[in-house]
Amino acid sequence: MSFVTAVLAEIEHVALPMPTLMYGAIALVVFFALGFLVWTYRDVANRHQTKADAYAAAHGGARSHDGH
């Protein structure tokens, strides 16, 4: 038996500060909040296509994709 196992065997049981299902509920809330944050940034690059075209023209860049 290793030292760590012996120490863990001697520690008495400590009660959790909240029910076990609440840990999963908190994880789901955090997951959905982060998913919503990522979702809000969808298609950001295509929102300002005219600005991107003007910048590319002014700086000698390639023309933007027309979608064809």
Q: What is the mean pLDDT of residues 29-47?
A: 88
Predicted local confidence at residue 59, as pLDDT: 85
Predicted local confidence at residue 66, as pLDDT: 57
9 is a domain residue: no
Residue 56 and residue 62 in contact, taking contact as beta carbons nearer than 8 Å = yes
5 is a domain residue: no
Structure tokens, 28: 């789901």
Q: Is the pTM of this model over 0.75?
A: no
Predicted local confidence at residue 58, as pLDDT: 86
- Quote the domain boundaries for residue 35: 17-68
CA angle 13, 25, 19 (to 5 degrees): 25
What is the rounded average pLDDT for all residues in the chain? 82
63 is a domain residue: yes
How many distinct structural domains can be found in the chain?
A: 1
User: 56: which residues sit within 8 A by CB, 6+ positions away?
Assistant: 62, 63, 64
